[in-house]
């Protein structure tokens, strides 16, 4: 599988973009809407004009038309051909390359088995659910065993549950096939979940490329730090396995429960928007629920950042402005907070590996 | 219950026609209108039968039908071909569009005087007229159909390895089919209206010519027979293309299936 190198790629949306994707790696291209993610993907696939150079495995491909670049592309809206049934959609590229009928049949059946869509082969795209369409589109993109796979926000139109399953599946398939992949998204947690490495693109420029842990802990500059939203990174004093996939970690006298079932946890991270703030004592068992005092309130564009103090430790929370407006929060007030367990990210130290659930 | 309702709904149309025909018969039979101006429906049907038996209707109908078939096939084929080129190729579209916009508004019958002088009064005259009247709408619908195709389908096909020609035959034209069929359907009926008018003005054979002869003999029954044939043929042609549209596109278009059910 080839590596991808973009050197000084520049056009209306990309501003001198340099990027290297390693052989067989899943690199997530992360940035807000309009940051040039899709444009860069289109440049790599050959759909848009650019200056600079793009190479696959050291070979410049700038003058190769899109239909000869050998790139599998999963579009945001999937672009399944509505006039072809599932089998014909998957077989499309094989027919284009004039494969013999029996080979086409064999390859299609291999792909539908891999994606678990055997029961859908004779359906038309208009009669598929979002998740089913996604699988068909992925099978179609993989039919010719492309050297490179480009995924443009493939899960953005799906409900959270389906997206979660498919994300895991995409990652597994990518690993199994060892296919060099660029995965575009604007969702940080989705990115952290799936990426080998993350590339942050802001205003058409690649700001930082690193593994998820380094990126979260050590943003290169203020722009990156602002974009990832200054996660709360907590150093753990101890950790204790409670069984059932939950681990108790100590952070400066507080017990925090995290979804983890593995090695020793050294750090945990939670984004400010996943710290829930409430004026009333929350009902329920009170897992990861603490009392905190408001130290500072900082209004941002459409959110409010709240600096909290828990037993002398500081923690950042972020709530949407309209919700802040309905609450009665002020400096010095005592509030209840919940660290949503599912949203806590867990890091094992040493090998730098990142564990997610 | 819905089945009964559906049957009732489809039967409803026939019922209206039956009531209309009954009214017609009664008004004519009881001389509510002057008898020579409106013969009863039954008399018209008898004349229909007579004209069919003695071959007059068949002969004229056949000449009209052949003209329509040749002119319409040639016109729509040319329309689809040129529409595909213009919808696909921006330069071709920019070059030809002004010319076509100039010719399109001229009603097909407006060409008759010019064509009579150029071609003379022979079979080519009505065929050319039908050609003109089918060419433009099919052309415009084809262009629209191709231009409306979502760019992502084209990108997807390219990333899957399709050359320009493969892209055209496997994605662009199939996706433009619903629009092309709309053009064909509208024009199929229009072709019959134009041929009748052409035959009335210029050609001595065909349903239109029979209509004019009947007028000069004040044979209202024959006039009505000709109009019935015209109405039936327009309807039949439209329904034929509607059938083809459903046959070729409905299986992947839930909207088409829905509107079919509603019908």
Report ipTM (2 d.p.). Answer: 0.79
Domain map of chain B by residue range? 1-38, 45-255
pLDDT of residue A151: 93
Domain at A235-355, CATH from 3.50.50.60, 2.40.50.100, 3.40.50.410, 2.60.40.420: 2.40.50.100
Structure tokens that stand for B74 in this block: 């040639």
CA–CA separation, A199 vs A211, rounded Å?
9
CB atoms within 10 A of CB B143: 25
Q: Do A92 and B160 touch (CB under 8 A)?
A: yes
pLDDT digits (tens, 9 = 90+) for A212-231: 878 877 788 888 877 877 77
**CB neighbours of B91 closer than 8 A, spacing ≥ 6?**
none
**CB neighbours of B10 closer than 8 A, spacing ≥ 6?**
none
Helix (H) or strand (E) run with residue B145 in it: helix B124-147
Q: Do B161 and A72 touch (CB under 8 A)?
A: no
Put simply, whether B240 touches A (Cβ < 8 Å) is: no
Is a pLDDT exceeding 80 seen at residue A243?
no
Q: State the span(s) of chain A assigned CATH 3.40.50.300.
A: 4-228
State whether residue A173 is helix, strand or coil: helix
Q: Are strands A345-347 and A313-320 parallel, antiparallel or unpaired?
A: unpaired
Is a pLDDT exceeding 90 seen at residue A180?
yes
Q: What are phi and psi of A117, to 5 degrees?
A: -130, 30
Nearest chain B Cα distance for residue A55, angstroms? 17
On average, the pLDDT of chain A sits at 85
pLDDT digits (tens, 9 = 90+) for B152-188: 999 999 999 999 999 999 999 999 999 999 889 888 8
pLDDT digits (tens, 9 = 90+) for B177-229: 999 998 898 888 888 888 888 888 878 888 988 988 888 888 888 899 999 99
Q: Which residue in the set B152, B161, B171 is minimally distant from A93, CB to CB? A: B161
Angle between helices A86-96 and A130-142 (to 10 degrees): 20
Class of domain A4-228: alpha beta
pLDDT of residue B197: 85
Interface residue of A96, A144, A151 to substitute, partner B, most B CBs within 10 Å: A96
pLDDT digits (tens, 9 = 90+) for A298-347: 887 778 888 898 888 888 888 888 888 888 888 888 899 888 887 787 87
Q: What number of C-beta contacts closer than 8 Å exist between A and B?
A: 76
Architecture of domain B45-255: Orthogonal Bundle (1.10)
Are A198 and A30 within 8 A, CB to CB? yes
pLDDT of residue A322: 86
DSSP state of A281: P
Chain B residues with CB under 8 Å of A94 CB are: none
**CB neighbours of A66 closer than 8 A, spacing ≥ 6?**
A45, A46, A47, B155, B158, B159
Helical segments of chain A, H only: 37-45, 86-96, 101-115, 130-142, 160-177, 188-194, 212-217, 222-228, 321-326
Mean pLDDT, residues A143-159 taken together: 88
State whether residue A219 is helix, strand or coil: coil
DSSP state of A10: E
Are A265 and A236 within 8 A, CB to CB? yes
User: Given pLDDT bands bounded at 50, 70 and 90, which one contains residue A236?
Assistant: confident
The string of DSSP codes covering B23-72 is: HHHHHHHTTSS-TTTS--HHHHHHHHHHHHHTTHHHHHHHHHHHHHHHHH
Put simply, whether B174 touches A (Cβ < 8 Å) is: yes
Chain B residues with CB under 8 Å of A81 CB are: 153, 156-157, 171, 175
Are B188 and B72 within 8 A, CB to CB? yes
Q: Do B253 and A81 touch (CB under 8 A)?
A: no
Q: Which residue in the set B152, B158, B252 is minimally distant from A66, CB to CB? A: B158
pLDDT digits (tens, 9 = 90+) for B101-132: 898 888 888 888 898 899 888 888 889 999 99
In chain B, positions 4-43, which contact chain A (CB-CB < 8 Å)? none
Angle between helices B90-103 and B124-147 (to 10 degrees): 140
Strand partners, A259: A246
User: Given pLDDT bands bounded at 50, 70 and 90, which one contains residue A233?
Assistant: confident
pLDDT of residue B122: 85
Global pTM reads: 0.76
Q: What are phi and psi of B150, to 5 degrees?
A: -60, 125
Q: Do A96 and B155 touch (CB under 8 A)?
A: no
**CB neighbours of B216 closer than 8 A, spacing ≥ 6?**
none
Q: What are phi and psi of B179, to 5 degrees?
A: -70, -40
The string of DSSP codes covering A329-352 is: --TT-EEEEEE-GGG-EEE--SS-
Q: Do A96 and B170 touch (CB under 8 A)?
A: yes
Q: State the span(s) of chain A assigned CATH 2.40.50.100.
A: 235-355
pLDDT of residue A352: 40
pLDDT of residue B68: 92
Mean pLDDT, residues A117-141 taken together: 91
Is a pLDDT exceeding 60 seen at residue A9?
yes
């Amino acid at each position: 599988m080839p590596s991808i190198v973009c050197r000084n790629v520049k056009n209306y949306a990309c501003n001198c973009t340099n990027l290297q994707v390693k052989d067989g790696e899943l690199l997530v291209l992360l940035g807000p809407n309009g940051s040039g993610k899709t444009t860069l993907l289109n440049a790599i696939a050959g759909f848009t004009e650019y200056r600079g150079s793009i190479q696959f495995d050291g070979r410049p491909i700038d003058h190769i038309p899109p239909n000869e670049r050998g790139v599998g592309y999963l579009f945001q809206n999937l672009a399944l051909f509505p006039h072809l049934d599932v089998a014909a959609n998957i077989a499309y590229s094989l027919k284009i390359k004039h494969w013999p009928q029996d080979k086409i049949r064999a390859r299609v059946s291999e792909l539908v088995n891999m994606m678990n869509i055997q029961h859908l082969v004779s359906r038309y795209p208009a009669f598929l659910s979002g998740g089913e369409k996604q699988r068909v589109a992925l099978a179609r993109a993989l039919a010719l065993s492309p050297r490179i796979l480009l995924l443009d926000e493939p899960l953005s139109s799906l409900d959270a549950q389906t997206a979660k399953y498919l994300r895991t599946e995409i990652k597994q398939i990518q690993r199994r096939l060892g296919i060099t992949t660029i995965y575009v998204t604007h969702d940080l947690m989705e990115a952290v979940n799936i990426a080998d490495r993350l590339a942050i693109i802001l205003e058409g420029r690649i700001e930082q490329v690193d593994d998820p842990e380094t990126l979260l802990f050590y943003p290169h500059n203020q722009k990156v730090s602002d974009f990832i939203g200054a996660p709360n990174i907590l150093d753990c004093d101890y950790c204790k396995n409670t069984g059932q996939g939950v681990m108790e970690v100590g952070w400066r006298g507080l017990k925090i429960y995290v979804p983890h079932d593995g090695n020793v946890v050294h750090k945990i991270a939670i984004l400010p928007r996943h710290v829930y703030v409430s004026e009333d004592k929350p009902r329920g068992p009170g897992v990861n629920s603490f009392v905190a005092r408001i130290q500072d309130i900082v209004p941002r564009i459409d959110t409010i950042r709240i600096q909290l103090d828990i037993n002398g430790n500081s923690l950042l929370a972020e709530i949407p402005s309209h919700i802040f407006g309905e609450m009665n929060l002020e400096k010095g007030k005592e509030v209840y907070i919940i660290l949503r367990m599912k949203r806590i990210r867990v890091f094992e130290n040493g090998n730098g590996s990142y564990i997610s659930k | 219950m819905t089945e009964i309702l559906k049957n009732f709904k489809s039967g409803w149309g026939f019922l209206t026609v039956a009531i209309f025909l009954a009214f017609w018969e009664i008004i004519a039979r009881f001389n509510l209108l002057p008898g020579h101006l409106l013969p009863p429906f039954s008399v018209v049907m008898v004349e229909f039968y007579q004209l069919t038996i003695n071959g007059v209707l068949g002969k004229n109908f056949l000449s009209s039908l052949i003209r329509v078939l040749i002119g319409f096939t040639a016109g729509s084929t040319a329309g689809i071909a040129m529409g595909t080129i213009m919808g696909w190729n921006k330069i071709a579209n920019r070059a030809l569009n002004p010319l076509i916009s100039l010719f399109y508004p001229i009603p097909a019958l407006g060409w008759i005087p010019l064509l009579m002088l150029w071609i003379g009064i022979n079979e080519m005259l009505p065929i050319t007229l039908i050609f003109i009247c089918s060419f433009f709408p099919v052309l415009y619908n084809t262009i629209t159909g191709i231009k409306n195709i979502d760019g992502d389908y084209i990108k997807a096909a390219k990333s899957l390895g399709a050359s320009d020609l493969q892209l055209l035959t496997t994605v662009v034209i199939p996706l433009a089919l619903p629009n092309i069929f709309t053009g064909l359907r509208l024009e199929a009926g229009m072709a019959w209206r134009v041929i009748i008018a052409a035959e009335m003005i210029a050609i001595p054979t065909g349903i239109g010519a029979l209509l004019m002869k009947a007028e000069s003999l004040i044979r209202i029954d024959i006039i009505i027979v000709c109009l019935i044939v015209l109405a039936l043929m327009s309807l039949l042609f439209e329904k034929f293309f509607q059938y083809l549209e459903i046959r070729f596109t409905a299986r992947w278009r839930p909207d088409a299936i829905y509107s079919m059910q509603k019908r």
